[in-house]
A and B are shown apart, each in its own frame.
Chain A
Amino acid sequence: MADPAAQHSTAATQANSLRHGPDARGHFGGRYGGRFVAETLMPLLLELDQAYETAKADPAFHKELEFYLRDYVGRPSPLWFARRMTEELGGAKIYMKREELNHTGSHKLNNVMGQILLARRMGRTRIVAETGAGQHGVATATVCALFGMTCVIYMGATDVERQKPNVFRMRLLGAEVVPVTAGAGTLKDAMNEAMRDWVANIADTYFLVGTVAGPHPYPAMVRDFQSVIGDETKEQMQAQEGRLPDVIVAAIGGGSNAMGIFHPFLDDPSVRLIGVEAAGCGLDSGKTAASIERGRPGVLHGNRTYLLQNADGQIDEAHSISAGLDYPGVGPEHSWLSDIGRAEYVGATDDEALKAFELCTRTEGIIPALESAHAIAYAAKIAPTLPKETLLVINISGRGDKDIFTVAEHLGVKL
C-alpha cells in the first residue's frame, strides 16, 4: 500500500499522467476551464490562486485540514459492501462509498472545510456561497458557525421552495439565505447572484464555490479537497479485496463528488469511470440537466465547459427532480475527460432515480440523496450485465432525508 501521506497528495508522479491538469491558465486539455470573469474579479482570483498554492505546499495546512476532517467531518467514511443489493441485482459486487455519513450528510463538507481554512488564512471574515439542493449551503453555514464567520447563501427561489428543511437548517446555523428570483430560480441563478455579491464586497468576502466549476482555481481546488473520497476508496478496496475496483459510478451535477472519487484513479486505466448526469424527463425531452450528453462547449460562470444552450448561445434552463443536479453546466475537467474518453458520461431519468432511491432504501437501509440515486440507478442498470467478480463502487454522495417530501409527492403520499 502506498504511503498515506502520498495518498493525500494530488501530485501525479507519471510523466504522462492525466492528473497534472490544469495548466497555469487553469485550462484542462488546453480547452476547458480558464478564468472568464470581469476585470474586477481577476486580481482576486490571482490572489486566491496564490494563497491556495501556498497553503497546498504548507504541511501545517494539511495537518489542520486532516484534524478537522477526522474529528469534525468524521472521516474516513466507510466503503460498504452492499450485499442485499448485490444479490437482488445478481451481477457485479456492489460497494458503496458512504459520503452520506459525513457531518451534514453529504460530501460537500470535504471541500467546504478546506476552503474555510483557506479563507481564514486569507483573513476573510464574510463567506458567500451558492446552493442548489442546499447541501453545499448547509455545509457552508455549518463551518461558518464553527468558526464564527458571517454567512450569506444564495439559493434559487424554486429551490428554496423544494428544499425547505435545508433552508431552515441554514437559518438555524446563523446563515442569511437569500432567495434568487431571476431566471428559473435555480442553481444557475444563485451562482450569478453569488458572483455579484462577491464583486461588490471584495474587501472582506470569500466566495466559497461548492462544485468543481467556476473560474480557475476553483475547479482544481475543489477537486483536490474532494479527492479524499477517491484516495480512501483506493485504500479501502485494497484492504478489502486486495485490488483496484473495476467500475466507479458517481452522479454529476457540477461534478464535485464524481471528480473527487475519479481523480485518484485517472492513471489506473483498468478502472472504468462513469459519471451519471440527470436526464430529467429523458435526454431528448428538452427537460434535462445532461450538459455533457446534450450540451456543447461554451462559457458560463467563469469557465469553458459543456453547457445546455440554444443556437444563439443563450443558456437553457436545466431540469431535474434533484435540485443538486439542476444545473446547465458541468465542471470543466469532466468536459475534458469526456472528450478524451477517459470517463464515460451517461444519463438517468427522474423516474429511474426514484426507483433507485427505493431500491437502495429497501435493500440496504440507506436512504440516499436523490442526487446519489442517479448513480445508483445507472449502477443497477449495468450491474446485472457484469460478471460476479466485477467490483463496482457507487459514490453515495449524500443522504436523502432532505428529499423525502419530493419523493412522497411523486409517490402520491401526503405527509
Chain B
Amino acid sequence: MSRIAARFKTLAAEGRGALIPYLEAFDPDFETSLALLKAMPAAGADLIEVGMPFSDPSADGPVIQLAARRGLKAGATLAGVLDLIAEFRKDDQDTPVILMGYLNPVEAYGHARFCEDAAAAGVDGLILVDLPPEEADILEAPAQSAGLDIIRLVAPTTSDERLRYVLSHASGFVYYVSITGITGTRTASAEDLQAALLRIRAATDLPVAIGFGIRTPEQAATAAGIADGAVVASALLSTLADTLDTDGKATDQTLPRVLEQIKGLAAAVRAGEKKAG
C-alpha cells in the first residue's frame, strides 16, 4: 500500500480527516524549508504538500507568487526540491509528501527521469496545476511505473460528466479546489462544500481533500470534517513572510510561528468530528 493510501486508511480508522499543510521549497532558503518540513509531522501535519517554485504561477494568488519568487531567488531548482525531500525521508518514512507545481520545469527535467528521481527521493504524489487529464498522457505512464500518484484537481466548474472523466485519471486522493479563483483568496461555505462532496463521492472511492481558501483552524476543521482532508497553504506562507527580515531572510521567529500555527490547525482538525459522508 502506498504511503498516501496507508495514511488515509489510518485516519479513517481514527475517525478524523487529515491536515495537509503546504510549504514552498527554498522559501526563504533550503535550510529553513528543510527544517520546517522536518518539524511539520510533529506539529500535526498528516500529509505535506511541497510547492515547486515556478516563474509564472498563473493559478496562484499573490502570497504563493511571492513565496515562489523567494524560492527561486534562493536558487530553487527541481533537483534541489528533490534533494529537500530526500533529506526529509532520511528521518521520516511515513508522512506522505506531495509535490505541487507547474508542468514546464518538469518538462525541462524530462518527464520519465523526473518521475523516477522523485520516487527515489521519497515523493508520493504529484499535483501539476496546468496538466489536465486531456494532456496527461505524457506523464501518466512514467508516474505509474515509478509508483507515483497523480492527484487530480476538481473544481466547482467541473460538471458531473466531466467529474467521471477526470476521476478516471486520478489516484492517491482527489484535491477539491473549493472556489473558482486563485489560491488564498475566497473561502467556500460549509453548505457549498457539503454539496460538492456529495457529488465527488458519488464519482469516486478515493479520499478527498479540500484546498484553496482555508485559513483558520475552524475552516480547516470544517473542511476536514466534511471531506477527508484540508489543505492550508497561503495562510501559512503569509505567516512565514511576516517573520522574515527586511532582506527577506529567515529569523528566529520563522520556524516557531509557522509551526505554532500548524499546531493550532491540527488541534482543531483532531477535535473536529468526522461527519458520515
Contact = CB atoms under 8 A, between A and B. Distances in A.
Contact of B162 (A25, A43, A315): A43
Among A41, A191, A311, A312, the one with the most B-chain Cβ atoms within 10 Å of its Cβ is A312
A42 B177 contact: no
Interface stretch (A166-174, A195-203, A276-284, A362-370): A195-203
Interface stretch (A293-301, A378-386, A407-415): A293-301
Contact of A199 (B65, B131, B132, B182): B182
B39 interface: no
Contacts of A191: 58
B134 interface: yes
A196 B158 contact: no
Contacts of B206: none
A40 interface: yes
Contacts of B132: 35-39, 42
B166 interface: yes
A91 B102 CA distance: 49
A309 B58 contact: no
A196 B104 contact: no
Nearest to A307: B104
Contact of A301 (B58, B131, B154, B158): B58
Question: Interface majority SS on B: helix, strand, loop or mixed?
Answer: loop
A41 B181 CA distance: 10
Point out which of B131, B134, B159 has the most chain A C-beta atoms below 10 A from its C-beta.
B134
Interface in B34-55: 54-55
A188 B56 contact: yes
B108 to A, nearest CB: 3
A300 B134 CA distance: 16
Contacts of B186: 200
Interface in A150-201: 182-183, 188, 191-192, 195-196, 199-200
A195 B129 CA distance: 13
Contact of A298 (B65, B108, B166): B108
B157 A44 contact: yes
Interface in A28-66: 34-44, 46
Contacts of A390: none
Contacts of A192: 56-58
B103 interface: yes
A314 interface: yes
Interface in B164-187: 166, 177, 180-182, 185-186
B154 A39 contact: yes
B56 A35 contact: no
A21 interface: no
Given A313-B106, A313-B108, A299 B55 contact: no
Contacts of A302: 130
A38 B55 contact: no
B59 interface: yes
B269 to A, nearest CB: 25
Contacts of B59: 38, 40, 195-196, 199
A326 B258 CA distance: 39
A202 B182 CA distance: 12
Give the interface SS of chain A, mostly helix, strand, loop or mixed: mixed
A200 B213 CA distance: 12
A299 B182 contact: no
A301 B129 CA distance: 12
A106 B104 CA distance: 33
A298 B104 contact: yes
B250 interface: no
B105 A314 contact: yes
Contacts of A311: 108
Interface string B49-77: 00000111111110001000000100001
A299 B107 contact: yes
A298 B110 CA distance: 11
A38 B47 CA distance: 22
A369 B230 CA distance: 52
A318 to B, nearest CB: 12
B135 to A, nearest CB: 5
B153 interface: yes
Nearest to A203: B180
Nearest to B156: A40
A300 B104 contact: yes
A315 B102 CA distance: 12
A314 B185 contact: no
Contacts of B152: 39
A34 B136 CA distance: 11
Given A200-B181, A299-B104, A42 B55 contact: no
Interface in A126-148: none
Interface in B101-128: 102-109
Contacts of A314: 54-55, 72, 104-105
B180 A195 contact: no
B203 interface: no
B155 to A, nearest CB: 4
B104 A40 contact: no
A75 B162 CA distance: 42
Contacts of A196: 58-61, 182
A39 B177 contact: yes
A40 B130 contact: no
Contacts of B106: 313
A36 to B, nearest CB: 5
Interface of B: 54-61, 65, 72, 77-78, 102-109, 129-132, 134-135, 152-159, 162, 166, 177, 180-182, 185-186
Given A40-B157, A297-B107, A314-B104, 8 more contacts: A38-B129, A39-B153, A39-B154, A42-B132, A43-B162, A200-B185, A200-B186, A313-B54
22 contacts: A37-B130, A37-B132, A38-B153, A39-B152, A39-B158, A39-B166, A43-B157, A43-B159, A192-B56, A192-B57, A196-B58, A196-B59, A196-B182, A299-B107, A300-B56, A307-B104, A309-B108, A312-B78, A312-B105, A312-B109, A313-B54, A315-B56
Which are the 3 A-B pairs with shortest beta-carbon distances? Answer: A313-B108, A313-B105, A200-B181
